[in-house]
Chains A and B, each alone.
Chain A
Amino acid sequence: MSFASNHPARREDAKVMNRAELTRRLVARLHHDEAVIGGIGFANFDLWGAGQRPQNFYMLGSMGLAVPIALGVAIAQPARRVVALEGDGSILMQLGALATVAGRRAANLIVVIWDNGAYQITGGQPTAAAEVADIAAIARGAGIAKSAWAADEGDFEEMIARALTEDGPWLIACRIDQARPDSTTERDPARIRDRFMRGIGARH
């Protein structure tokens, strides 16, 4: 049985959850210095809010590049799990990256999509995901077989637990609400990069 068949078949069948809460649940499961790349906007604000691990990298621009950056880290450090957190608007901007991830068979890469169907930070304009585009299905079509919607919070945690131990690449899509983050990432790019490199042992 395929991975996707154990999870909601369609976006509209998945529970609408809360990004900050799911981010906290994800971070609480990271016990092996896993790297996390926070995409721009609210994805990385909530990652910041979940606790500033040195293994977190916070993007401050370059919309759509969370998955490519994570793939680069995953290639450089195949023994480390690498997680990319990306919004629906951001991943729709760089869908080709999903095909590249699949082509590289990036076993240690986990893509988490926060899908609220909106460009929330710019005023809530709807994305294509709001009505027509199913990102979990797009990822499967791009070649990421282990791509599915999280049914609810418990399902999300089970999917993360599996993705942290079994070979990927993985894409875990989550429907989320329109809640705004409580905190804002500190915007100091050189410091973010240096702390991240030390956090994942690339610099001492």
Chain B
Amino acid sequence: MPESVPWHQTAVAVLKRHDVRLVTYVPDNVLRPLIEAVHADPFFTAFATTREEEALGIVAGAWMGGTRGILLMQTSGFATLPNVIASLAVPFQIPVLMMVSERGTLGEFNLGQALVAKTMRPVLDSLALEHHTLTRADEVEFVLDRSIRQAVATQAPVCFILSPLLTGGKVFAA
């Protein structure tokens, strides 16, 4: 099997191919290589927001103005979004792209993260949102490429969950 390309490099390539120029995020350590890559590349407009809701609102506005965007966050940040997904992105048919660094599983050390993580997939499923959990670097290209196409074609949000199996996750420092 050939040496696999790191997930964040693949993500950058697919975002560029689909002209996804705007990246809003609430910082996360696992997402750091992707955040640093989009900041380093003038193709992207990338910046941190104070809340994930705000990041979603900006991406929604930019879509309506003709610019595609994605928001990056961790699991606990996703848990703050159901209201704005259900009252803005879904009813207004705005293909908001979301990427979540998954905490709360596979070695989580913080009980709060472990509990809030349990709400994520039920929320996505109850809103009938397309979502995919990425566990292998060799699947990142296909899943992102096809799902961005689908989101735009069907005018519906999509959520990519980056499993610790893909990213290594965050481990207890002690």
Which A positions have Cβ atoms within 8 angstroms of B? 35, 37, 57, 59-65, 67-77, 80, 94, 96-97, 99-100, 103-104, 189-190, 192-193, 196-197, 200-203
Q: Which of B60, B64, B86, B88 has the most C-beta atoms of chain A within 10 angstroms of its own C-beta?
A: B64
Number of interface residues of B (CB under 8 A): 31
Which B positions have Cβ atoms within 8 angstroms of A? 22, 45, 47, 49-51, 53-67, 69, 83-84, 86-88, 91-94
Q: Can you give 7 contacting A-B residue pairs, CB < 8 Å?
A: A35-B65, A61-B87, A72-B63, A72-B64, A72-B69, A75-B62, A75-B67
Q: How close is B19's CB to chain A, nearest CB, in angstroms?
A: 12
Q: How close is B26's CB to chain A, nearest CB, in angstroms?
A: 10
How far, in angstroms, from A122 to B59 measured CA to CA in the complex? 29
Pairwise interchain contact B92-A97, C-beta atoms closer than 8 A: no
The closest CB in chain B to the CB of A97 belongs to B54
Other-chain residue from A37, A63, A64, A190 in contact with B61 (beta carbon distance below 8 A): A37
Q: How close is A43's CB to chain B, nearest CB, in angstroms?
A: 15
The closest CB in chain A to the CB of B88 belongs to A62
Q: How close is B81's CB to chain A, nearest CB, in angstroms?
A: 10
How far, in angstroms, from A73 to B64 measured CA to CA in the complex? 7
How far, in angstroms, from A80 to B88 measured CA to CA in the complex? 23
Pairwise interchain contact A100-B93, C-beta atoms closer than 8 A: no
Given that A60-B91, A68-B58, A104-B47 are contacting pairs, would A94 and B64 also be in contact in the complex, using a CB cutoff of 8 Å? no
Q: Which of B61, B67, B69, B84 has the most C-beta atoms of chain A within 10 angstroms of its own C-beta?
A: B61
